[in-house]
Amino acid sequence: LSLYSSPARETKYVENPQTQLEEGVSRLRHVMEPYTAWCQSELIDSSKVKVDSSLCSDYFSEGCEFLQNPPAGFYPRLGVIGFAGIVGLFLARGSKIKKLVYPAGLMGIGASMYYPQQAVAIAKVAGTHLYDWSLQGYIAVESLWKDN
């Protein structure tokens, strides 16, 4: 038994009244509910991609095996590359283009330090694609210039 008597608590939950915007959104959701349910059942079921389960399980098991038994120094390299991306996010103040270019560029530089052979192969392929695109752009601009 307690030495002190405690006063009886009388609490009551009071719900805040809904604003006009909340009521409007609620009405809209109730009206649109049959249509959204139809879209989810019909369209999603018809657009599901059928994937061979054995192929998916092979990739999954290979990935799990790689992460359980990584090569020496894999996690420190991954940490440095990830940290370079975070530094890129901090440096990319201002435009949205900087927020895309800086983290990707710094992560690319970090990855190229640890994996130089793969970086050279990627750079060669990217360089040929970039050259092809620039040549196509030049031809398009030249044809527009000659037409005028």
Q: Are 115 and 78 in contact (CB under 8 A)?
A: no
In tens, the pLDDT along 72-100 reads 888 899 899 999 999 999 999 888 899 99
In tens, the pLDDT along 16-55 reads 888 898 899 889 989 988 888 877 776 655 555 544 455 5
77: left (phi over 0), alpha (psi -120 to 50) or beta: alpha
Cα(37)–Cα(102) distance, integer angstroms? 42
The pTM for the full model equals 0.49
Q: Are 92 and 102 in contact (CB under 8 A)?
A: yes
Q: Are 99 and 89 in contact (CB under 8 A)?
A: yes
Cα(1)–Cα(5) distance, integer angstroms? 9
Cα(50)–Cα(60) distance, integer angstroms? 17
In tens, the pLDDT along 107-144 reads 999 999 988 999 899 999 999 999 999 999 999 999 88
Q: Determine the Cα angle at 112 with ends 102 and 133, to 5°.
A: 65
Q: Are 135 and 125 in contact (CB under 8 A)?
A: no
